[in-house]
Structure 1
């Protein structure tokens, strides 16, 4: 593992590392923010999953989360959104291939060789973080858009591993919207029944635990009615008696201006469960 960035930030350190991922069979980068409290004790971890076209850089440079992580004494861990490298399958499309891993384990060629972001996020990366950094095994997870889909599906598939979850503008029903249908068809094949394993609206129906769950959605989001459909997840959660807080925010779109406006409240949401 090689540290390639090291910057002082709100009394702590914002770092970026490169390492060889066994799950993805390629070199990967991830960001770690260690708050000032980590200099003297171990701290809990909030994982952040970013959206389409992003790397680890978008969140750490645009969201402004480090200020709030420092206030609460929570580490931030931000992986890339897909496998990378010259030998990794790709297409000329922003919503499939590199930058669009969808946090699942692909089963179809040519994607199945490297696109195992679910294993990376749910297993390999936390094991690495907890072995190499001054953190506890108290975990929370959040994300934006495709990353919101990832956060919700990872939590619902792994009861007992996380203490809280939140999302901004998540793709909550990928089996029923164009982004998800395109990615799932390529990565998982055309048998739609297999898609349910990574669809939060399907997974919540059989959830075995009830975690604090906060979703913020901008009412002016250009993808609200075509790609995101929070109404579908809310209906499924209500039917399953899974309590969620869904906040529709007037005037906000799909951008990081939206994320930056409410990230402090999300970090506080997780800190309450982690500390």
Structure 2
């Protein structure tokens, strides 16, 4: 798989790139961004964090608004931001062109339902293909990777991290969808991509995973108290209850007055990156 560099800029002594490649997982061209801290100029291997974005987003949202580069430069972290779904003229979208399904809303699953099963394979793309691709050309230590995300991407970070604790040694999230089986966004996405058999949904529901025995190290979640989606779509109290019952370590911080936007994310981004760096240090 050949990587094409679409843009490259200096930032905080490091390099911010936007790249594309043809994905074997999705069968489409995929675009992502990667920030290489100054330490990448000489280091043989560095820890990395994958950031998964939310509904309607691409790689560009966090790249332009996430304010992660200064912290990554100081901490020596590689920061990787993939797209949220496959794209292209032949890729099926929501028939009603809704924002919460189809393009921009891949929900980080491998779809099994037609017509989405061919391209909507973001689970395999994030878990396997993208890290392996980057490790072949960058000083990325596959044994020191963390995963984080926002909203739909927080859902992806929690489910991928809990499923593959040996691959993702640290997990954090901003305003994640923790129980997609129990909320409208998730019910629409999981039924559309995986079908109506709810037993298949459990592998992509963080609450269900913890209830079924999945474990990781301590998880960090920040949630704004003024988030318009808090009560109907996010439900962090469900994840806290499941973690408390199972003994899964969790730090859930309710941030007074913050909403669902990148103003919220950028405020606490450095805290999250420091959290990951401590856990990926050795």
Equivalences for residues 20-31 of structure 1 within 5 A: 20-31=22-33
Which of 76, 81, 84 lines up with 2:84 in the alignment?
81
1:66 matches 2:72: no
Preserved contact between residue 165 and residue 216 of structure 2 (Cα < 8 Å): no
CA deviations on 1:174-226 (whole Å, 9 max, x unpaired) are 00000000111110111111110100000012345431310000000000000
| Distance across 2 between alignment mates of 1:118 and 1:208 | 17
CA RMSD of aligned residues (A): 0.8
- 1:173 aligned partner: 179
- 2:20 aligned partner: 18
Q: What TM-score do you get using the length of structure 2 for normalisation?
A: 0.96
| Distance across 2 between alignment mates of 1:186 and 1:262 | 33
DSSP-derived class of the 2:9 partner: strand
| Distance across 1 between alignment mates of 2:64 and 2:277 | 21
Equivalences for residues 1-275 of structure 1 within 5 A: 1-41=3-43, 42-91=45-94, 92-137=97-142, 138-275=144-281
Preserved contact between residue 54 and residue 150 of structure 2 (Cα < 8 Å): yes
Runs of 4+ more than 6 Å apart: none
Preserved contact between residue 178 and residue 238 of structure 2 (Cα < 8 Å): yes
DSSP-derived class of the 1:141 partner: strand
Q: What TM-score do you get using the length of structure 1 for normalisation?
A: 0.99
DSSP-derived class of the 2:6 partner: strand
Preserved contact between residue 156 and residue 207 of structure 1 (Cα < 8 Å): no
DSSP-derived class of the 2:264 partner: helix
Preserved contact between residue 163 and residue 212 of structure 1 (Cα < 8 Å): no
Shift of 1:2: 0.4
Shift of 1:40: 0.6
| Distance across 2 between alignment mates of 1:211 and 1:77 | 21
- Structure 2 residues not aligned, in runs of 5+: none
| Distance across 2 between alignment mates of 1:100 and 1:236 | 26
CA deviations on 1:92-130 (whole Å, 9 max, x unpaired) are 010000000000010000110100100000011111111
- Structure 1 residues not aligned, in runs of 5+: none
| Distance across 2 between alignment mates of 1:247 and 1:223 | 16
> Aligned pair count?
275
Greater shift after overlay, 90-99 or 208-217? Answer: 208-217
Shift of 1:160: 1.0
